[in-house]
A = this chain, B = another copy of it.
Amino acid sequence: MQLRNQVEWALHCCTLLAALPPGRYLPTKDLAEFHDVPKEYLSKALQGLSQDGIVESALGPSGGYRLARSPSDVTFLDVVEAVEGKASSFVCTEIRRNGPCSPKGADAKKCFAKPCGVAQVMWSADRVWRARLAEVTLADVTQTLAESFPQNVIDNTIEWINERI
């Protein structure tokens, strides 16, 4: 099991978008150049973010993407689910109902009233995973970055952005 590459890209892109001056857009082309990733494929991740209302898009010159909400209102979970989907990582195919020993009739009704015990455990793990991701927002990671990066590096990036919007 491995998350898509797009998840990493999307998170980093959102972090960058969080640094945009209000009201401005940054196009896919620049987001791709900034991270040195294929532009056309990155756009698919951004489409997912757009469809889930994480970012807003604008067409034409000086168009592009911007965050649709405040960075403190966008959690990691929002971004991950926009790219990976909201489905649980574990899918129960109910194999307990297969095979020669599977209960039939009245017994089946009793045994299968509750979800499969194996699936319950796996789903609970999935929930705590998502809960952890929901605890962290883009604002948090921006803050962490601001604390560990020298000011001149940050200024450099801001300037790079301003040259393009």
Contacts and interface: CB of A to CB of B under 8 A. Distances in A.
Select the residue from A99, A124, A150, A157 with max chain B CB neighbours within 10 A: A99
Select the residue from A114, A119, A131, A133 with max chain B CB neighbours within 10 A: A133
Interface residues on A, range: 35 or more
A65 interface: no
Interface stretch (A20-28, A32-40, A47-55): A32-40
Contacts of A133: 121-122, 125
A111 B8 contact: no
Contacts of A101: 34, 153, 156-157, 160
Interface string A81-113: 000100101111101101111010001001101
B153 A12 contact: no
A6 to B, nearest CB: 11
A26 to B, nearest CB: 13
Contacts of A141: 117-118, 121
A113 B149 CA distance: 10
A90 B9 CA distance: 12
A5 B137 CA distance: 32
A129 interface: yes
B1 A96 contact: no
Contact of A95 (B9, B111, B150): B9
